Amino acid sequence: MDLNELHSIAMGMTSNGKGILAADESSPTIKKRFDTIDAESTEANRRRYREMLFTTSGAADYIGGVILFDETIRQATSDGVPFPKYLNDLGMIAGIKVDMGAKALAGFPGETVTEGLDGLRDRLAEYVELGARFAKWRAVIHIGDDIPTEYCLHANAHALARYAALCQEAGVVPIVEPEVLMDGAHSIDRCEEVTIAALDAVFSELEAHKVALEGIVLKPNMVISGSDAAERAGPAEVAEATLRVLKAQVPEAVAGIAFLSGGQTAEEATEHLGLMNEDGPFPWELSFSYGRALQAPALDAWRGNEDNFAAGQDALFKRARLNSLAHLGQYQTSMETEAA
């Protein structure tokens, strides 16, 4: 493990106003996305959709990393250039989702633990050969009556730390993603409480596993009201609560923080990020690692129609640019109605 190289990769993904495009939807998930636009989820359509995103002119100015799915990392552009090589050559560092999904945690109803550690060392070696320079593992924390339990938080933090240690051994930057879901009717205060507990468990396990924090990217949720809450906190309160938690829980050694959007609209995710960065600078980069919040407008513009290829790219470019401005603390909501 070369810590300087890991740190350089992590900073390349999250510094200078750049963030990460999460394009690592599993086959069932991207089928759901395609169903919303009446597009068939074939291998050819998935490849073409991802090609539309990756080949957007100017995207590399705002996107420092792209998370790929196993199918995608083995695909190529229409010109025959493997996607990882195409992305890496542009400075949009190629990464790979390596977890096998959240599964029911036996004995703990309503809770999950993410699987995928078996064989991970060998899979990482293969992904490095294919061009991956970072990886992603997502833990899923549910808020509900009497959950999350302390054991669930520990089990997921332990798995995240084992994954992160294996990544760094392989020379790969781990994105450490403990997502406290916004599903539910809980208050922003309850989300803050659970997020603190989740991050506390994660950093305790990372330390125990001797993971170098300078060579990771943390991908947390924002502290936000449940999606079904009777009264939802406004943008300023979300930004304030999230910063409060990060300043208390995230060691300064961490290279970068790249938020997940977690069910927020594209505009909400950008506004919240922008408000936080207006209070910077921070010890770590405060960036984005969005899936739907970057892709949804592009998917809607494309709609599986080759005639809309350029329109899809325009939509992605606009969102990438606005999130970059939010990362720099220069975003204004009025920019949403301005030309990209």
Question: What distance in Å separates the CA atoms of residue 289 and residue 323, rounded to the nearest whole number?
Answer: 10
Q: Verify whether residue 219 is a known catalytic residue.
A: yes
Picking from 186, 180, 227, the residue whose alpha carbon sits closest to that of residue 200 is 180
Marked catalytic residue, from 18, 136, 219, 318: 219
Picking from 73, 39, 37, the residue whose alpha carbon sits closest to that of residue 54 is 73
Q: Residue 200 has which token pair?
A: 């506390």
Picking from 252, 251, 264, the residue whose alpha carbon sits closest to that of residue 224 is 264
Q: Verify whether residue 247 is a known catalytic residue.
A: no
Picking from 230, 224, 220, 236, the residue whose alpha carbon sits closest to that of residue 274 is 236
| Burial letters 102-114, b for 16+ CB under 10 A, else e | beebeeeeebbbb
Marked catalytic residue, from 51, 177, 205, 285: 177
Which positions are catalytic?
177, 219
